[in-house]
Chains A and B, each alone.
Chain A
């Protein structure tokens, strides 16, 4: 009996793994192998152009980070960007979702209209926004007609990152709006009815029922938002034509990694930076999990 059982087990295992094999191979080739290779590279000085050589340098690539002023600028820009964009887009998407959840006229039209920016390719969005941000462009025209100061949005280091922030909040909020909208429709109606009987007003209902009920979704939205903002690349790349300028104002972590990898051809250091970015994102996500868990206990 026992032997038969063992045989069965092996066969089950075998059939199980053989069905998973395609996925395991694909994931292994295109996900695990590159990750492992990047970690391997991050401990080497790599020369790819001309004579290919891998020289083991231990932690030299990581030590180099401490003394790399451009890395700190990139990190500062990225954190600043995340700190402004994530709360702004989360609040905006919640507000938009709540509005669209009301029984408005033409709300299907608004749902589609609000979602459009997310459907548009980000490269196209950036090009359109670069036209809006032009010194003689739409935004300055509007600012001027209200008597507000105008800026050289593309050339002035103090506002260049802000320009990308505005664009990104506008284009990502609708995506999270759809997620909130789905979650809003899941909140049981009887909670609101009970609140009505207790004499709560609209604001109290929103603050005491809607927001707490949405907490798991908010966690998801914030985590995805942070990961997205930390991986900001295409917008600042197109905005600055790959330079991260003016004056490093739009230099983000991923753009810096790109510059080291494909402009300086320093794959070892670029891999080490990518590794750092992964660690930073993981840490932030862990901290977020702790915060959200704690509140759930309360």
Chain B
């Protein structure tokens, strides 16, 4: 009997040891990080060991990835004390970044779209960059709208724009020639009449749409503004259900539901506008700079041109999308991170990054040097930046966007009238915003 008791004791002891060993492990794990950061601190002083800075971004084409790697290699050659670890977050980028920020596992530097910036700035998880900026960095060289997108209400700077793009009208030159159209449309009325000529139907089924549309807020926000509508007010409440906003948006909806000369990519089995245009299922699309290398590499036989987005209500308008590098406030390697950040957004790094035309520079000097304003395909995109609506509207934009998109699709597919859809979308968005406060 005694033996049994002792066996049991041994068992219990073993269990206790296992459990306590687990506890020890986690403690070791915690103590490891201060020591490693201490060695980082040491390496910034003369000691040799390079500091590893993590940089995270979303995935892009292999060509773009290679170009970024080239910029990073150049940086590392010049700064042997900094090692860059580049990570690609393939899917649901913002969800991953936010979760990693909470878990204190976020990268030191990461991409941030202007539209998500206000929410993150509000949460105080980004490092203000004003203290790092030196006169040589020449911050006034950035295009004002692109850098202002990453400033907080009180004027603090939280991110440096890495590249930008506006939207322009892409048109298929061959289809235009076949239809006897000599020049791309310059007004929305012209766009509609041209679309009618370009649409090819087989019985009732449309095979080629005149215009490929993207029924989502990111692409249509300037249509809300065209007749004086507003997406949201100062408090971040949605205000898009007005007759003015409806007037602009109905141009988009009616061309699909009534005229049937425009369609969305999934109507013809494409994933997005660039693909739809490349597969020649739309004669025109309104897309950004990213579509140019995509079409050129994947659809070599498509001969296309670009033009500024046709005027609506006599006013020019388009959207501007800007992405910045931002620094994690809890980064333990801020000095090294700034070195990398200032190189990537500096004149030299940006020139290499934008040299192949995958992205458009945000620095005036780089723009002038690369001459994209005179480029046959990119000129229209550069011209748009002076009057573009930036894709940004306060910290509540993600909620507004989600509800707008859901309702807008309902109107787009004929499920409800545009008036009802906008009203419902606004109500739902505002309810959600109020409840979250």
Interface residues of A (CB under 8 A from B): 11, 14-15, 18, 21-22, 25, 48-51, 64, 67-70, 134-137, 152, 154-158, 242-248, 262-266, 269
Say whether, besides A18-B11, A157-B410, A242-B92, A266 and B266 are in contact (CB < 8 Å).
no
Q: Report the minimal beta-carbon distance from B392 to chain A, rounded to whole angstroms.
A: 18
A263 contacts B95, C-beta separation under 8 Å: yes
Closest A-B pairs by Cβ, 9 of them: A155-B266, A50-B123, A136-B269, A135-B269, A247-B410, A134-B269, A246-B409, A48-B102, A50-B124
B436 contacts A266, C-beta separation under 8 Å: yes
Q: Offer 26 A-B interface pairs, CB within 8 angstroms, sorted by A.
A: A18-B12, A22-B15, A25-B19, A49-B98, A50-B125, A69-B427, A134-B269, A135-B269, A152-B266, A154-B266, A155-B409, A155-B413, A156-B413, A157-B409, A157-B410, A158-B415, A242-B95, A243-B406, A245-B406, A247-B413, A248-B406, A263-B398, A264-B398, A265-B102, A269-B435, A269-B436
A15 contacts B409, C-beta separation under 8 Å: no
Please, how many angstroms separate the alpha-carbon atoms of A50 and B127 in the complex?
12
* Chain A positions within 8 Å of B70 at CB level: none
* Chain B positions within 8 Å of A135 at CB level: 266-269
- Max chain B Cβ within 10 angstroms of own Cβ: one of A50, A64, A269: A50
Please, how many angstroms separate the alpha-carbon atoms of A48 and B406 in the complex?
28
A157 contacts B266, C-beta separation under 8 Å: no
List CB contacts (< 8 Å) of B1-41 with chain A: 5, 8, 11-12, 15, 19
* Chain B positions within 8 Å of A22 at CB level: 15
Please, how many angstroms separate the alpha-carbon atoms of A68 and B185 in the complex?
44
Q: Secondary structure at chain B's binding surface: helix, strand, loop or mixed?
A: helix
B406 contacts A247, C-beta separation under 8 Å: yes
Q: Size band of the B side of the interface?
A: 35 or more
- Judge whether B405 is part of the interface by a CB distance below 8 angstroms: yes
Number of residue pairs A-B, CB distance < 8 angstroms: 91
B432 contacts A70, C-beta separation under 8 Å: yes
Q: Report the minimal beta-carbon distance from A17 to chain B, rounded to whole angstroms.
A: 10
Please, how many angstroms separate the alpha-carbon atoms of A158 and B416 in the complex?
12
* Chain B positions within 8 Å of A245 at CB level: 405-406, 409
- Judge whether B407 is part of the interface by a CB distance below 8 angstroms: yes
- Judge whether B402 is part of the interface by a CB distance below 8 angstroms: yes
For B264, the closest partner residue in chain A by CB is: A155
Q: Beyond the given A49-B123, A135-B267, A244-B406, please list 8 additional residue pairs across the A-B interface where CB-CB is below 8 A.
A: A15-B8, A49-B120, A134-B269, A243-B406, A247-B410, A263-B94, A263-B95, A264-B436
* Chain B positions within 8 Å of A158 at CB level: 413, 415
Please, how many angstroms separate the alpha-carbon atoms of A242 and B436 in the complex?
20
A67 contacts B405, C-beta separation under 8 Å: no
Q: Report the minimal beta-carbon distance from B433 to chain A, rounded to whole angstroms.
A: 10
- Judge whether B374 is part of the interface by a CB distance below 8 angstroms: no
Q: Report the minimal beta-carbon distance from B249 to chain A, rounded to whole angstroms.
A: 15
Please, how many angstroms separate the alpha-carbon atoms of A266 and B433 in the complex?
12
* Chain B positions within 8 Å of A263 at CB level: 94-95, 398
* Chain B positions within 8 Å of A247 at CB level: 406-407, 409-410, 413, 415
Please, how many angstroms separate the alpha-carbon atoms of A246 and B99 in the complex?
26
For B102, the closest partner residue in chain A by CB is: A48
* Chain B positions within 8 Å of A269 at CB level: 435-436
Interface string of B330-361 (1 = CB under 8 A from A): 00000000000000000000000000000000
B101 contacts A155, C-beta separation under 8 Å: no
B92 contacts A49, C-beta separation under 8 Å: no
- Judge whether B428 is part of the interface by a CB distance below 8 angstroms: yes
B431 contacts A68, C-beta separation under 8 Å: yes
B431 contacts A136, C-beta separation under 8 Å: no
Q: Report the minimal beta-carbon distance from A251 to chain B, rounded to whole angstroms.
A: 8
B95 contacts A157, C-beta separation under 8 Å: no
* Chain A positions within 8 Å of B432 at CB level: 68, 70
Q: Report the minimal beta-carbon distance from A74 to chain B, rounded to whole angstroms.
A: 12
Say whether, besides A49-B98, A137-B269, A264 and B399 are in contact (CB < 8 Å).
yes
For A251, the closest partner residue in chain B by CB is: B406
Q: Report the minimal beta-carbon distance from A11 to chain B, rounded to whole angstroms.
A: 7
* Chain A positions within 8 Å of B99 at CB level: 262
Please, how many angstroms separate the alpha-carbon atoms of A67 and B402 in the complex?
18
A69 contacts B98, C-beta separation under 8 Å: no
Interface string of B376-400 (1 = CB under 8 A from A): 0000000000000000000000110
Q: Report the minimal beta-carbon distance from B200 to chain A, rounded to whole angstroms.
A: 15
Say whether, besides A18-B11, A18-B15, A262-B95, A70 and B101 are in contact (CB < 8 Å).
no
Please, how many angstroms separate the alpha-carbon atoms of A18 and B431 in the complex?
53
B267 contacts A152, C-beta separation under 8 Å: yes
Please, how many angstroms separate the alpha-carbon atoms of A242 and B12 in the complex?
47
Please, how many angstroms separate the alpha-carbon atoms of A269 and B12 in the complex?
42
For A131, the closest partner residue in chain B by CB is: B269
Q: Report the minimal beta-carbon distance from A29 to chain B, rounded to whole angstroms.
A: 10
Q: Report the minimal beta-carbon distance from A271 to chain B, rounded to whole angstroms.
A: 15
Q: Report the minimal beta-carbon distance from B318 to chain A, rounded to whole angstroms.
A: 24
* Chain A positions within 8 Å of B410 at CB level: 157, 246-247
Please, how many angstroms separate the alpha-carbon atoms of A218 and B341 in the complex?
62
B405 contacts A64, C-beta separation under 8 Å: no
Please, how many angstroms separate the alpha-carbon atoms of A157 and B102 in the complex?
35
Q: Report the minimal beta-carbon distance from A163 to chain B, rounded to whole angstroms.
A: 12
Please, how many angstroms separate the alpha-carbon atoms of A227 and B215 in the complex?
35
For B92, the closest partner residue in chain A by CB is: A242
A51 contacts B267, C-beta separation under 8 Å: no
List CB contacts (< 8 Å) of B416-436 with chain A: 427-428, 431-432, 435-436
* Chain A positions within 8 Å of B428 at CB level: 69-70
A69 contacts B405, C-beta separation under 8 Å: no
* Chain A positions within 8 Å of B431 at CB level: 67-69
Please, how many angstroms separate the alpha-carbon atoms of A68 and B436 in the complex?
11
* Chain A positions within 8 Å of B92 at CB level: 242
* Chain A positions within 8 Å of B125 at CB level: 49-50
Please, how many angstroms separate the alpha-carbon atoms of A21 and B16 in the complex?
10
* Chain A positions within 8 Å of B409 at CB level: 155, 157, 245-247
- Max chain B Cβ within 10 angstroms of own Cβ: one of A21, A25, A247: A247
* Chain B positions within 8 Å of A154 at CB level: 266
- Max chain A Cβ within 10 angstroms of own Cβ: one of B95, B264, B407: B95
For A14, the closest partner residue in chain B by CB is: B8
* Chain A positions within 8 Å of B406 at CB level: 243-248
For A263, the closest partner residue in chain B by CB is: B95
Of B102, B120, B435, which contacts A68 at CB under 8 A?
B435
Of A11, A69, A157, A265, which contacts B5 at CB under 8 A?
A11
A157 contacts B15, C-beta separation under 8 Å: no
Please, how many angstroms separate the alpha-carbon atoms of A151 and B409 in the complex?
15
Q: Report the minimal beta-carbon distance from B382 to chain A, rounded to whole angstroms.
A: 31
